[in-house]
C-alpha cells in the first residue's frame, strides 16, 4: 500500500492531522492577519493640498479596527496596486478585496492528494 500525501498552500503533509492543522491555520490567518496580503498606512492632509504618508505600517489589529475619522493608503502585497487617501470604509473594502486575491493565489480551497511527494525545487524558474 502506497503512502498518501496531501499538498495544501504549497506545503506537503503526510498526515490528515497535519493537513487539518494547516487548513485551520490558514483560516485563522484569513480572519486575523491582513498584513499577510495588505500594507496599510495612515495619511494626513498637508499644507499644499496633498497627502503625507505616515511611515509606520498598521498592525493586524489596527487594520481590523480602522478609525472612521482617518484616511489610509492601502497597498496589495500581491498585485502592487496602491490606493491613496481612502476613508475607513473604502480602505476596509480594499483589504477584503486583497484578501480574496491572496486566497486565490494560495489556493486555500484546494487540497491535492498524491502518492508521491515532489520535493524538487522549481524556484529557479520563477521570477
Q: How far apart are CA 57 and CA 37, in angstroms?
A: 13
pTM: 0.85
More confident residue, 7 or 92: 92
Q: How many residues does the chain have?
A: 127
Q: According to the model, what pLDDT value does residue 119 have?
A: 64
Cell 503625507 sits on residue: 52
Question: pLDDT digit string (tens) for 31-72?
Answer: 999 999 999 999 999 999 999 999 999 999 999 999 999 999
* CB of 98 closer than 8 Å to CB of 38: yes
Q: How far apart are CA 79 and CA 36, in angstroms?
A: 13
Nearby residues of 124 by Cβ (< 8 Å), 6 or more positions away? none
Question: pLDDT digit string (tens) for 23-34?
Answer: 999 999 999 999
* CB of 74 closer than 8 Å to CB of 57: no
Count helices and strands in the chain by DSSP H and E runs: 3, 7
Amino acid at each position: 500500500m502506497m503512502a498518501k500525501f496531501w499538498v495544501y498552500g504549497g506545503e506537503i503533509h503526510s498526515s490528515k492531522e497535519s493537513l487539518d492543522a494547516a487548513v485551520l491555520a490558514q483560516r485563522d490567518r484569513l480572519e486575523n492577519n491582513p498584513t499577510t496580503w495588505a500594507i496599510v498606512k495612515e495619511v494626513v492632509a498637508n499644507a499644499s493640498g496633498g497627502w503625507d504618508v505616515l511611515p509606520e505600517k498598521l498592525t493586524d489589529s489596527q487594520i481590523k479596527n480602522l478609525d472612521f475619522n482617518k484616511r489610509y493608503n492601502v497597498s496589495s502585497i500581491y498585485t502592487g496596486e496602491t490606493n491613496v487617501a481612502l476613508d475607513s470604509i473604502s480602505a476596509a473594502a480594499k483589504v477584503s478585496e486583497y484578501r480574496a486575491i491572496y486566497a486565490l493565489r494560495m489556493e486555500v480551497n484546494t487540497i491535492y492528494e498524491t502518492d508521491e511527494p515532489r520535493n524538487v525545487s522549481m524556484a529557479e524558474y520563477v521570477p
